[in-house]
Every structure is written in C-alpha cells, then in structure tokens.
C-alpha cells in the first residue's frame, strides 16, 4: 500500500515538474525551478543517510563540493564535456564516500556527526588555501555553460538527472538491501541477530548518497558558472537538512517537496537577509513540534489512521450483522 502510494506520488511530482516550464514561462521562475531540481537530488542523497541509515551526517557538503570543484577544474583547464563530467563527478564522489564511510560508519551518534563535520571543514580549508589549484577564496569563475545558456534545455537536463536519482533511491529503498538498512536503523542489535551486517548496508546507502550528491554538485557548478570554498560551508548543510526534515525524512517524496518549499522560501526572503536564518529556525521548531515526521510523514500517518478507522468500522459492522442474523 505504502509503496504504491509513494510510487504514484513520485510520478505525479515528476510529471508536474516536466510540464512546469510550459505553464510558467517566466525566466526567473525557470531559474528557481532549476535550483529546486538540483537541490531535490541533493536532499534525496542526504535522505538516504539520515532517513534510511539513521545517522545524522553533517559532512554531506564534502560530496557536493567535490563534484562542483571537479566539474569546474576539468572544464576550465581541460575542456572536458558535460556529458562526461557529470557522471564522472558522481563516481569520484562515490569513491570519496567509500573512504569516508569506511572511517565514519564505524562510529555512532555524536561521534559520527562530529567526524563528518570535520571532513567538510578540512576540505573547506583546502579549497581556501590551495590557491594554485582552486584559486583560493576567489574561487573558479567563468565555467562554460552548456547549451549556449539555454535555461530550458538545462532545466530538462536537471529534470532527467533528478528522475534518474529518484529511480535509484526508489530501487534501493524497496530492495532487500534497503529493507536491511531500515532494519539496522530501527534496531542494530536485532538486525545483527538475524544475520544483517550493519556496516555493509550502511556503506551501500552512504556511497549511493555520495554519488548522487557529486552529480548534483557538478550540475550546480555548470549552472552557477562559479565555484568557491563556500560550497563546503555549513549554510549548504543547513539547507539540505531543512529540505529533508520539512519534507519528511525516511520518505522518497519528502526531500522533493522539502526542496521546493525551502528554495521558494529562500527566494521569497532574500530581502530579509538578517532574519532569514531566524525564520528558518522557527519553521524547523514548528515542524518538529507539530509534524515531527515532516509533511509527507504526517500525510502517511493520516492515511494509515484513516485506513485503520475504516477497517475497524467495517469489522464492527460485520460483527453487528452477524449478531443480528
């Protein structure tokens, strides 16, 4: 039941995203749509770790930033084409995820959180100080935009990559591997007692999340046409966390809805720079208090409650009918 509902909601979201440029022709809205698609893929990748492994990573900007820097460097210095660099950035990010995951996934709780944050800070310092390679705080500007700066073509490229990312996440979640990862999230010791290896399944989710984040980073670099050390900043991490929490962690549709809401809120609050983080903080507190499972989690909860109520009514009606006979 839940799988069918989630599949239909994902197809509905992607279908609406596909026809959105036809309905909303404004170039600014097209720009917002591209950012939503890129961050939806990024939030989906983080959700694999936060929602399905159950570990709260604060270093996911490592993979996003590495994908962005790799695309920028190889495009500017070697002229590598986008069709090669987007998947290549994902593969390199996945390899980095394999190394980082091998270190951090052996830790739990606050130790995991702190060490992943440290990796992001280390790479930020490297990007800031390795001036010969990264141009330091000035960053890498002038990244050639593909499709002769045609935003509509770039929108559909991002749509196609998000569709592929959602498909990969869906296949993972509803496979035996994904179910094993959820079992580890719920209770590591019970999972071990039935032969599930927590480290193995957590590593698969971690590497898949790193791959998708690297691809999203390369798309971001091509679209913005600039990459600087700020891609490793905690502000990017805050945006990702908000998208996952507001939409609903542990759900596939949640990060997509969360990215849509957060990006539109950020654009709407550009004139209130001083208060933006405070407003986001208030929103997170309200979500945690009234919808701790996020928007999609709340909807799932209401659907399940309605189904249980209907089943109970049907059972009671059947019992009364049998008694009267």
Q: How confident is the model at residue 108 (pLDDT cuts 50, 70, 90)?
A: confident
User: Is residue 137, in this structure, part of any structural domain at all?
Assistant: yes
pTM of the predicted model as reported, rounded to 2 decimal places: 0.90
Say which CATH number the domain at 125 has.
Answer: 1.10.3470
Q: Which residue has the higher pLDDT, 193 or 66?
A: 66
User: Is residue 167, in this structure, part of any structural domain at all?
Assistant: yes
Residue 322 has pLDDT above 70, yes or no: no
User: Is residue 323, in this structure, part of any structural domain at all?
Assistant: no
Q: Which residue has the higher pLDDT, 314 or 12?
A: 12
As a whole-number percent, the residues of the chain with pLDDT over 70 amount to: 92
User: Is residue 186, in this structure, part of any structural domain at all?
Assistant: yes
User: Is residue 313, in this structure, part of any structural domain at all?
Assistant: no
Whole-number pLDDT of residue 313: 64
Number of structural domains the chain divides into: 1
Whole-number pLDDT of residue 315: 64
Whole-number pLDDT of residue 314: 61
Lowest mean pLDDT among 31-35, 134-138, 143-147, 213-217: 143-147
User: Is residue 20, in this structure, part of any structural domain at all?
Assistant: yes
Work out the average pLDDT over 57-76.
Answer: 92
Lowest mean pLDDT among 44-53, 84-93, 112-121, 305-314: 305-314
Work out the average pLDDT over 74-87.
Answer: 89
The pairing of strands 226-227 and 140-141 is: antiparallel
User: Is residue 113, in this structure, part of any structural domain at all?
Assistant: yes
Residues sharing a CB contact under 8 Å with residue 242, sequence separation 6 or more, in sequence order = 258, 262, 280, 283, 284
Whole-number pLDDT of residue 70: 93
Range of the domain at 161: 2-292
User: Is residue 318, in this structure, part of any structural domain at all?
Assistant: no
Work out the average pLDDT over 206-213.
Answer: 95
Residue-averaged pLDDT of the chain: 86
């Amino acid at each position: 039941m839940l799988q069918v509902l989630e599949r239909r909601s994902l197809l509905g979201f992607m279908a609406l995203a596909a026809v959105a440029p036809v309905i909303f022709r404004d170039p600014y809205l097209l720009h917002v749509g591209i950012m939503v698609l890129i961050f939806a893929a990024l939030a989906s990748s983080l959700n694999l770790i936060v929602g399905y492994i159950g570990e709260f990573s604060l270093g996911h900007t490592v993979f996003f930033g590495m994908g962005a820097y790799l695309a920028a460097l190889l495009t500017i210095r070697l002229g590598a084409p986008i069709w090669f660099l987007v998947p290549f950035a994902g593969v390199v990010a996945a390899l980095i995820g394999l190394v980082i995951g091998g270190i951090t996934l052996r830790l739990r709780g606050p130790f995991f959180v702190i060490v992943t944050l440290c990796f992001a800070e280390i790479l930020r310092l490297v990007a800031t100080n390795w001036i010969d390679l990264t141009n330091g705080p000035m960053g890498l500007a002038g990244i050639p935009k593909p499709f002769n700066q045609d935003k509509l073509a770039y929108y559909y490229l991002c749509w196609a990559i998000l569709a592929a990312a959602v498909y990969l996440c869906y296949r993972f979640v509803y496979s035996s591997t994904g179910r094993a990862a959820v079992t580890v999230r719920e209770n590591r010791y019970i999972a071990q007692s039935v032969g599930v290896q927590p480290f193995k399944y957590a590593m698969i989710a971690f590497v898949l999340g790193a791959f998708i984040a690297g691809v999203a980073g390369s798309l971001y670099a091509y679209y913005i046409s600039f990459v600087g050390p700020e891609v490793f900043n905690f502000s990017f991490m805050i945006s990702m966390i908000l998208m996952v929490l507001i939409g609903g962690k542990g759900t596939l549709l949640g990060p997509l809805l969360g990215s849509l809401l957060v990006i539109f809120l950020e654009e709407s609050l550009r004139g209130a720079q001083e208060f933006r983080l405070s407003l986001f903080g208030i929103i997170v507190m309200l979500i945690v208090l009234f919808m701790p499972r996020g928007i999609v989690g709340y909807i799932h909860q209401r659907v399940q409650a309605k189904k249980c109520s209907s089943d109970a009514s049907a059972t009671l009606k059947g019992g009364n009918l049998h008694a009267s006979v």
